[in-house]
């Protein structure tokens, strides 16, 4: 029996995540009260329907009366030997506020405030979910993600054959767009030769061979990559011993198009060749 609990901030993409795991074979239930999780788990175990052996449920702030005690409920389930994973979806406060204003939807906690302030509701929700976030197996920050990128990230995390292995995501990003909040390890590639200042390379990216060749012909770049891979090869077994379910390795440059994409691609290949289940994501490569 495999149970995935999807939770996190309202407006962070839980519905999209649920649809993504449903598409790869999970039996899905939305808005389940946390006090029913143990009963649902038992029903799935007893069921003869194989579709019920791989389930995903959304547990979030809509179950307001019981959600303050959700961590206690989850702890009780775990103490009974029932295994589950927690996926927590998050985003920056201003991003969540903007999403609510754009959709003109009411926040589930808005009734707690006389002025029905979205900002106050988001801040309160972050406070209520802080403990659960701290115990999540996977944390995905959707601040800079499109719906397509989120679906791809979720699919990569949960469609892998080896569900017991630590999942590694190699992510390139641009510092000008902000740090990826879910990153566990961050490397700064802004010290490397920058193709942006080469006219024929400026409008290309690290997905193009000419850019990769320009970046990696430098001895500094080669030494930089070697030090990254040496550190990761040393630390991967330590993260696994710690019991991490996911490790996000982020490599950034100024705009997230040239140097970071080049290095991220090479690190992804290196870890894949070592036998780790590794996916790659270029967060900002398509931004103008």
Tokens representing 104 are 């003109």
Q: Do residues 132 and 86 make contact, with C-beta atoms less than 8 angstroms apart?
A: yes
Q: Is the pLDDT of residue 38 over 90?
A: no
| pLDDT value of position 87 | 95
| pLDDT value of position 90 | 95
Helix-strand-coil split of the chain, %, nearest 5 = 50, 15, 35
Q: Is the pTM of this model over 0.85?
A: no
pLDDT top residue among 189 and 102: 189
pLDDT tens per residue across span 220-259: 999 999 999 999 999 999 988 887 778 999 999 999 999 9
Q: Do residues 112 and 61 make contact, with C-beta atoms less than 8 angstroms apart?
A: no
pLDDT tens per residue across span 116-171: 898 999 999 998 888 888 889 899 999 988 888 899 889 888 875 545 567 899 99
Q: Work out the percent of the chain whose per-residue pLDDT is above 70.
A: 95
Cα gap 267→229, rounded to integer Å = 7
């Amino acid at each position: 029996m495999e149970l995935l609990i999807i939770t996190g901030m309202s407006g962070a993409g839980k519905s999209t995540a649920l649809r993504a795991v449903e598409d790869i074979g999970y039996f899905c239930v939305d808005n389940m009260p946390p006090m029913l999780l143990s009963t649902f788990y038992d029903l799935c175990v007893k069921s003869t329907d194989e579709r019920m052996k791989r389930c995903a449920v959304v547990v979030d702030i809509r179950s307001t009366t019981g959600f303050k005690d959700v961590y206690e409920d989850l702890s009780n389930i775990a103490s009974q030997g029932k295994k589950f994973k927690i996926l927590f979806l998050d985003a920056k406060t201003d991003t969540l506020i903007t999403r609510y204003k754009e959709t003109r939807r009411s926040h589930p906690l808005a009734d707690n405030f006389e002025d029905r302030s979205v900002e106050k509701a988001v801040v309160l929700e972050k406070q209520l979910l802080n403990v659960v976030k701290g115990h999540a197996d996977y944390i995905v920050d959707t601040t800079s993600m499109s719906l397509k990128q989120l679906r791809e990230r979720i699919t990569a995390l949960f469609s892998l054959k080896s569900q017991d292995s630590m999942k590694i995501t190699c992510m390139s990003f641009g510092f000008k767009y902000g740090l990826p909040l879910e990153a566990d390890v961050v490397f700064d590639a802004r010290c490397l030769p920058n193709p942006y200042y080469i006219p024929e390379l400026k409008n290309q990216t690290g997905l193009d061979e000419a850019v990769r060749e320009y970046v990696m012909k430098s001895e500094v770049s080669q030494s930089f990559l070697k030090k990254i891979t040496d550190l990761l090869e040393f630390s991967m077994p330590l993260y696994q011993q710690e019991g991490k379910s996911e490790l996000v390795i982020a490599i950034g440059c100024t705009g997230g198009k040239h140097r970071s994409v080049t290095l991220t691609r090479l690190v992804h290949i290196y870890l894949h060749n070592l036998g780790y289940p590794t996916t790659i994501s270029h967060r900002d490569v398509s931004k103008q």
